[in-house]
């Protein structure tokens, strides 16, 4: 992207996240970017194109956090149950750290798309989100063996994701309950530790290790 495109996407993402596609006027989007309204048409073909460019930005940003980890895991070949556990722990650590970075605007945008998915959601899903969840599904399947049906594995993966997502989606409640004023590196480490422990207990149960 050239600088006008970067300016427009950077300004549009928080507006789309707060106001939605219909609520964010072309005039407001251009004004926030310090660009003329004609720049949106020139660079993106219109407001819809700018909205999709925001989705592509989210896809690329998330991919920048986790794609390398997934590629490394996939290149190592089919994992054993022990390796699958280690790879899940690695993946969850990376994703938790990514979610707790400065991603509030992306989270708002994606929450809207989760409720009323459009072509933008399809781009994010096909670009990285689906790949992350499919990798988790593969690894949980290896750990669980034949103890869970395929659908049960996929549902379990979403519950595992939920323990990380709550720290972004319920940000205000997290700060109020913990007494934190913000989530910086020290707080991220605390969350990652809790997620790691939760994951270990859950995987123990799925693998049969948690049974007496």
Please give the Cα distance from 122 to 141 (Å, whole number).
Answer: 25
Residue 63 in contact with residue 128, Cβ under 8 Å? yes
Least confident among 53-67, 76-90, 92-106: 92-106
What's the chain's Rg over C-alpha atoms?
19
pLDDT classification of 104: cutoffs 50, 70, 90? confident
User: What does 95-107 look like in DSSP terms, one character per residue?
Assistant: HHHHHTSS-HHHH
pLDDT reported for residue 95: 92
Closest CA to 88 of 147, 156, 151, 150: 156
Q: Above 80 in pLDDT, residue 86?
A: yes
pTM of the model: 0.90
pLDDT classification of 212: cutoffs 50, 70, 90? very low
End-to-end CA distance of the chain: 57
Q: Which CATH class is domain 60-207?
A: mainly alpha
Spell out the domain ranges in the chain: 60-207
pLDDT reported for residue 210: 57
Per-residue pLDDT of 32-81, as tens digits, reads 999 999 999 999 999 999 999 999 999 999 888 899 999 999 999 999 99
Q: Which helix (H) or strand (E) holds 69?
A: helix 47-75
Please give the Cα distance from 26 to 12 (Å, whole number).
Answer: 9
Residue 23 in contact with residue 2, Cβ under 8 Å? no
Residue 115 in contact with residue 54, Cβ under 8 Å? no
Residues 6+ apart with CB under 8 A from 137: 153, 154, 157
Per-residue pLDDT of 119-146, as tens digits, reads 999 999 998 999 999 999 999 999 999 9
Q: Above 70 in pLDDT, residue 211?
A: no
């Amino acid at each position: 992207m050239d600088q006008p495109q970067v300016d427009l996407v950077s300004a549009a993402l928080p507006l789309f996240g707060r106001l939605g596609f219909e609520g964010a006027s072309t005039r407001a989007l251009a004004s926030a970017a310090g660009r003329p309204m004609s720049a949106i048409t020139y660079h993106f073909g219109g407001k819809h194109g700018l909205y999709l460019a925001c989705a592509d930005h989210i896809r690329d940003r998330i991919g920048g956090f986790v794609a390398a980890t997934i590629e490394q895991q996939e290149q190592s070949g089919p994992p054993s149950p022990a390796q699958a556990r280690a790879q899940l722990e690695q993946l969850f650590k990376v994703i938790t750290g990514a979610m707790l970075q400065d991603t509030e605007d992306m989270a708002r945008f994606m929450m809207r798309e989760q409720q009323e998915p459009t072509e933008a959601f399809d781009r994010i899903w096909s670009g990285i989100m689906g790949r992350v969840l499919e990798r988790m599904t593969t690894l949980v399947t290896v750990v669980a063996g034949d103890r869970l049906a395929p659908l049960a594995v996929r549902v379990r993966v979403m519950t595992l994701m939920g323990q990380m997502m709550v720290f972004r989606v319920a940000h205000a409640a997290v700060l109020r309950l913990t007494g934190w004023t913000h989530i910086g590196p020290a707080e991220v480490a605390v969350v990652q530790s809790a997620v790691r422990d939760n994951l270990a207990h859950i995987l123990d149960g799925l693998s049969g290790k948690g049974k007496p």
